[in-house]
Chain A
Amino acid sequence: MTSITKPLIPLAPLAKNDLGLTIRDYEGAMSTLCAGCGHDSVTAAIVYSFWELSTPPHMIAKLSGIGCSSKTPTYFVRGAHGFNSAHGRMVTIATGANAANRELTYIGISGDGDSLSIGLGHLAHAIRRNVKMVYVIENNGVYGLTKGQLSASADIGTRAKRGEPNEIAPIDPIMLGLAMGATFLARSFSGDKEQLVPILKAAVAHNGLALIDVISPCVTFNDHEGSTKSYRFMREHEVKEVQTDFVPLRTEIHGRIPSDGTTEITMHDGSVVRFGSVPEGYDPSDRQKVEEYIRDRHSRGEIVTGLLYVDESAKDVHELNHTPAEGLNKVPYSKLCPGAAELASMQASFR
């Protein structure tokens, strides 16, 4: 974990990825979050995922808004280009950046306040636009930096540390995503790196906006009896029936994926998402069935985690707009300016 100072000289030689980089090369600054914060586990999963994927650090753009979660991009991939934007506006920045340069891998880190309150409109529209990016909501149901107000994801009945139970309906980003036409929806738990890492890797490969709702308990303000976003509640209510594995493209080249009757979805770049175990009748490409399933389990007080829905056939914002394969920021000026002769001739119609 990045929040722990590491010895300068590792005890054992660190493993290297395809780029010859060690996991240390994907870490960032020391975390300043509270000890035990779920967000630090998410950071660790992100570090591990990018290292395993051998994504060149300089080809990663990491963005965030405002809040505890939004501090975390400082804590991973120090060689990546970072943008800590204004509260709720992260995805608007990511949309513009992606529009200008589609060659980078974009990862946006947000929280439930950032994405489900002040930035809800932007999230909904970014989903509709299908901007190719990984969008992580570190969801703890509470405002940490302002000391413990309930957020829009707080469940009915949940209590702030010293307060009355919440009585207004929560916003579930997965349900929102299903309604808005999201093409990749996952839910995980910060305490479950085994599950989160393959989801993150699949999200990077996804051709569009990959929304990951990570329940990430707040140890200071929302990890107590009566909170549905606590470690204990999650450990007791998490249902991991939708189990996924991610098989990167290069593995496929070396050997065929064993077929054992499980569900597979081939991603845009040729890599494969394999659903190790899904409940009977569950189909991660059927929006309606996914919604019914989540609602059904929710009514029994259960929180379903895993890669819940994928549609790899949809066009992303660039395909929809027929932009070139290279970034628009690389198109030479000579191709952009029609020139003096054209200006003169077009003005013939201005008379």
Chain B
Amino acid sequence: MTIDNAPRTATQVNDFSVKLANVNGTGSASANSLLMQAIFRMGIPVSGKNLFPSNIQGLPTWYEIRVNKSGYTARALDYDLMVAMNSQTYAEDINDVRHGGYVLYDSSWPLDPELLREDVTFLGVPLARMCLDHFNAPRERILMKNVAYAGVVVALIGIDIDLVANLVSETFARNEKLGASNQMALRLGYDYAKENFDCPLGFHVEPMDATKGSILIDGNTAIALGCLYAGATVSGWYPITPATAVMDNFSRLCARYRREAVPGPTPDSEVTYKNNYLILQAEDEIAAIGMVLGASWSGARSFTSTSGPGISLMSELLGFAYYTEIPAVIIDVQRTGPSTGMPTRTQQADLLLCAYASHGDTKHLLLFPANPAECFEFAVASFDLAERFQTPVFLLSDLDIGMNDWVVPELTWDDNFVPDRGRVLDDSDLAGMAEFFRYANADEDFVTARTLPGSDSKGAYFIRGSGHDKYGHYTESPVQYKEVVDRLKAKHAAAAQHIPAPIVERRPGAKVGVITLGSCDLAVREALDILAEAGVAVDYMRVRGFPFVADVRGFVEEHEYCFVVEENRDAQLRSLITMETGAPIEKMLPILAYGGFPLSAKQVIDGIVTELENKR
């Protein structure tokens, strides 16, 4: 069986990809996202994937722009145009271009003839020389080269130059001089391309109306927004790639929306302000989660943001929170492990770590957002779940979602939203009670009522990570100990019904299925559409949280077998499904992408097709 997943024609309108190869720390990132943003503003579905090193300056970095009129914006693996701006990686970059594609390079220096390919068109632009001629400051000469190549690309792929010029004006509204330099560099590149090349190329953009009502947003910003809207007031955190921007954005948003002006005593006196939030940069992730537990115990909505190494450090207190039933929201923007791993590369390899974080019998609630829109929605939901079930909730994003800009429908908010603060007794509730016991009188979800510090002494109790009975008292009795931990197990299971349900899409006649999660979503959907066109019907299920509802096992059982697509080496989602639902592991075939780059449809198709052929 052969599946052609990239049909190419002479003209590919709004269906191509560009890869830009740069040296990090030279200012290329803003030029690259300028191109992506311009295409978005032309109404065309687009994605930008930043494939960057864990480094500040001098190492290779890439940016991939995929334009697709049908909305398939997962990572593409063949490139129509390579913007080769890094001589260190010329060889591999030129090799990456598809047959019949183009390479844009800086012709200020000659290209080594050994690098030339017969089947590729080389477009040389003397970018460095142009910038040398037009700009004086050394730093500006380097920076403006990026904007100049962006100008070339604008001409080559037919982006509306006025629209780009407007974007530049918006960006540099407060710095006229820098704005003028950028405009000049943009025109230098654009005019050169117009004069010297046959613009636009066969693959190019034409205006559409497909991004109306959509926004460009990264997952870390969306999570920060969700935490703001959920009413989080206290956070504890420790800087870590790729999660740092969650707290940076939360801090920025709080400074804007949570700061109240306090007028001075007289009209002339200075206006001070008060902050309805407190962000604590901790000494380590252990302290960060400790702060979250302290604040949550006290009735504030509180969260931390981290990545895998941080979860490892937090584990002891996460088990503490599970056993003592303290709400906590933990944002894990996953990166490539194990150990330090590859901090600027993506993976979904913290599933099992988070599901069972800590020693002893411990189970947590997990949410798997697939894109920034779900990051916002699930961030809000995670606070409700944490307080409803009085337990840690993990929001498992990843670097691809967190640090790349995605096109998603505009975020909406219901002003009637009332946060679910869970079962909390206040003094009037306590007054009506004969006695209060922390872990007694469970509701239908096996949740018991808590009190907050500061409430009447009748509601005072002692939180302890040591063995306790349902009254909250210390115990070493097997019966009393088991009564509490058995309820915790039932409570965890009950939460399944309150977690976002799996998304299921069925195709007529499908005998096999795919189960996936998180950011694999787009690539898997694209793969299944391509397979369907080739006559291979495959059903789709995307799980959106843990514990799993019964439908997950049902989906496995109703198919001959299922592919489980995930971004880790050990098929962690498959293990989790088997362990927690009893679904037969032999019916689940792993398709694993764990090299650190976002998944592409090609990897999914290759995995499925290989297996289908083996089964014949």
A and B held together in a complex: yes
Contact yes or no, B231 A336, CB < 8 A: yes
- B41 interface residue (CB < 8 Å to A): yes
> Which of A57, A59, A101 has the most chain B CB within a 10 Å cutoff?
A101
Using a CB-CB cutoff of 8 Å, which residues 283-310 of chain B contact chain A?
283-284, 286-300, 302
The residue on A at minimum CB distance from B419 is A333
Contact yes or no, B277 A95, CB < 8 A: no
CB distance from A88 to the nearest CB of B (A): 8
Contact yes or no, B215 A96, CB < 8 A: no
- A97 interface residue (CB < 8 Å to B): yes
Number of interface residues, chain A, beta carbon within 8 A: 57
What CA separation (Å) do A347 and B454 show in the bound complex? 40
Q: Mark B261-278, 1 if CB is under 8 A from A, else 0.
A: 000000000001111111
What CA separation (Å) do A74 and B232 show in the bound complex? 31
Given contacts A96-B302, A99-B300, A347-B410, contact A78 B460 (CB under 8 A): yes
- Chain B residues with Cβ below 8 Å from A59 are 454
CB distance from B216 to the nearest CB of A (A): 6
What CA separation (Å) do A99 and B290 show in the bound complex? 12
What CA separation (Å) do A347 and B411 show in the bound complex? 8
Q: Is the interface of B mostly helix, strand, loop or mixed?
A: mixed
- B280 interface residue (CB < 8 Å to A): yes
- Chain A residues with Cβ below 8 Å from B459 are 58
The interface stretch among B23-31, B391-399, B462-470, B520-528 is B462-470
The residue on B at minimum CB distance from A61 is B453
CB distance from B449 to the nearest CB of A (A): 15
Using a CB-CB cutoff of 8 Å, which residues 94-110 of chain A contact chain B?
94-101, 103-104
Contact yes or no, A58 B454, CB < 8 A: yes
- Chain A residues with Cβ below 8 Å from B417 are 337
- Chain B residues with Cβ below 8 Å from A276 are none
* Set B40, B257, B463: member contacting A84, Cβ < 8 A: B463
CB distance from B497 to the nearest CB of A (A): 25
- A299 interface residue (CB < 8 Å to B): no
- Chain B residues with Cβ below 8 Å from A350 are 215-217
Using a CB-CB cutoff of 8 Å, which residues 57-108 of chain A contact chain B?
57-59, 61, 73-74, 78-86, 89, 91-101, 103-104
- A262 interface residue (CB < 8 Å to B): no
The interface stretch among A148-156, A188-196, A197-205, A321-329 is A321-329
- B136 interface residue (CB < 8 Å to A): no
- B412 interface residue (CB < 8 Å to A): yes
- B533 interface residue (CB < 8 Å to A): no
> Which of B37, B279, B302 has the most chain A CB within a 10 Å cutoff?
B302
Contact yes or no, A81 B275, CB < 8 A: no
- B208 interface residue (CB < 8 Å to A): no
Contact yes or no, A96 B298, CB < 8 A: yes
CB distance from A117 to the nearest CB of B (A): 14
Given contacts A83-B297, A337-B231, contact A324 B463 (CB under 8 A): no
CB distance from B422 to the nearest CB of A (A): 14
Contact yes or no, A104 B291, CB < 8 A: no
Contact yes or no, A58 B278, CB < 8 A: no
- B112 interface residue (CB < 8 Å to A): no
Contact yes or no, B216 A96, CB < 8 A: no
- B228 interface residue (CB < 8 Å to A): yes
The residue on A at minimum CB distance from B167 is A351
- Chain A residues with Cβ below 8 Å from B232 are 336
- Chain B residues with Cβ below 8 Å from A61 are 453-454
Contact yes or no, B462 A84, CB < 8 A: yes
Contact yes or no, A100 B231, CB < 8 A: no
Contact yes or no, A328 B277, CB < 8 A: yes
What CA separation (Å) do A59 and B452 show in the bound complex? 11
The interface stretch among A39-47, A287-295, A338-346 is A338-346
Contact yes or no, A84 B466, CB < 8 A: yes
The residue on B at minimum CB distance from A32 is B474
Contact yes or no, B278 A93, CB < 8 A: no
Contact yes or no, A92 B286, CB < 8 A: yes
- A253 interface residue (CB < 8 Å to B): no
Contact yes or no, A95 B460, CB < 8 A: no
What CA separation (Å) do A95 and B279 show in the bound complex? 11
Given contacts A84-B464, A351-B215, contact A100 B290 (CB under 8 A): no
- A125 interface residue (CB < 8 Å to B): yes
Contact yes or no, B276 A324, CB < 8 A: yes
Contact yes or no, A96 B233, CB < 8 A: no
- A300 interface residue (CB < 8 Å to B): no
Contact yes or no, B283 A121, CB < 8 A: yes
CB distance from B300 to the nearest CB of A (A): 4
- Chain B residues with Cβ below 8 Å from A98 are 294
Using a CB-CB cutoff of 8 Å, which residues 213-245 of chain B contact chain A?
215-217, 225, 228-234, 236
CB distance from B380 to the nearest CB of A (A): 10
- A254 interface residue (CB < 8 Å to B): no
What CA separation (Å) do A31 and B466 show in the bound complex? 17
- Chain A residues with Cβ below 8 Å from B463 are 82-85
Contact yes or no, A92 B462, CB < 8 A: no
Contact yes or no, B415 A95, CB < 8 A: no
Known contacts A323-B275, A347-B215; 12 additional CB pairs below 8 A are A61-B453, A79-B460, A85-B317, A92-B289, A93-B291, A100-B299, A122-B283, A329-B452, A337-B231, A347-B410, A351-B41, A351-B216
7 closest A-B pairs by CB:
A92-B290, A96-B294, A79-B457, A100-B300, A96-B291, A82-B462, A97-B294
Partner-B contacts on A (CB < 8 A): 57-59, 61, 73-74, 78-86, 89, 91-101, 103-104, 121-122, 124-125, 129, 317-318, 321-324, 327-329, 331, 333, 335-340, 342-344, 347, 350-351
Please, could you name 23 A-B residue pairs with CB atoms under 8 Å apart, sorted by A? A57-B460, A80-B460, A81-B454, A82-B463, A83-B297, A85-B293, A85-B320, A93-B290, A93-B293, A95-B291, A96-B234, A96-B291, A99-B234, A125-B283, A323-B275, A323-B277, A324-B274, A328-B276, A333-B418, A338-B228, A343-B411, A344-B410, A347-B215
